[in-house]
Amino acid sequence: MPITGRKALNRAGMRFTSQRALIMEIIRRGRGHLDADEIYRQARGKEPRLSLSTVYRTLQMLKKLNVVDELHFDESHHHYEVKHSAEHYHLKCLGCGKVVEFSYPLSSYLKENVPAARDFDITVTEVSMSGYCARCRRGR
């Protein structure tokens, strides 16, 4: 039950603004893995007055509402994607930048196999793997 419509926002004491609608729309259509600046650039196409601050503020809000996930590839900025229903992780190619997704129930697997993880109430599991994709591996 991800909060996304006007009604749900109002119920939470927040307002449904055109900026927020636009930003959510861009993230949804974007097929994930967008960074703040890319969202900003796309948003300005529709609403040239929108500010980068609003993008960042909206991203924080969507993260808190569990609508989006923040991804930390090995870079100096973050990426965002709509929260999927299935647990999935990412492989990023250091050669061409391509991101490959794969679904895997890693958190429950670790809970079963790692004693130390049993005593913990794990709320976030993040895995980031990088290397070289098949295509990039050839060209070297």
Distances (CA, A) of 61 to 30, 53, 65, 69, 113: 18, 12, 6, 11, 34
Partner residues linked to 103 by β-bridges: 88
CB closer to DNA out of 16 and 120: 16
Binds 122, which of its own copies, DNA, Mn ion, none (CB < 5 to 8 A, cut-off by type)? Answer: its own copies
- Minimum CB separation from Zn ion for residue 85, in Å? 28
Say if strands 99-103 and 79-82 run parallel, antiparallel, or are unpaired.
Answer: unpaired
Counting every residue written for the chain, the total comes to 140
Which of these segments, 7-15, 87-95, 108-116, 120-128, binds DNA (CB under 7 A)?
7-15
**Binding mask of the shown chain, residues 35 to 74, with x at each position contacting DNA by CB under 7 A:** xxx---------x-xxxxxx-xxx-x--------------
- Per rule CB under 5 A, is residue 96 in the interface with Zn ion? yes
Which of these segments, 30-38, 87-95, 116-124, 127-135, binds DNA (CB under 7 A)?
30-38
Reported for 67-73, long-range contacts at CB under 8 A and 24+ positions apart, including other chains, are 67/2, 67/3, 67/4, 67/24, 68/27, 71/33, 71/126, 71/128, 72/126, 72/128, 73/99, 73/128, 73/130
19, 58 contact by CB (below 8 A): yes
Answer for which of 25, 101, 112, 126 binds Mn ion (CB under 5 A) is 101
Site residues for DNA per CB under 7 A:
6, 9-10, 13-20, 35-37, 47, 49-54, 56-58, 60, 76-78
Site residues for Zn ion per CB under 5 A:
93, 95-96, 133, 136
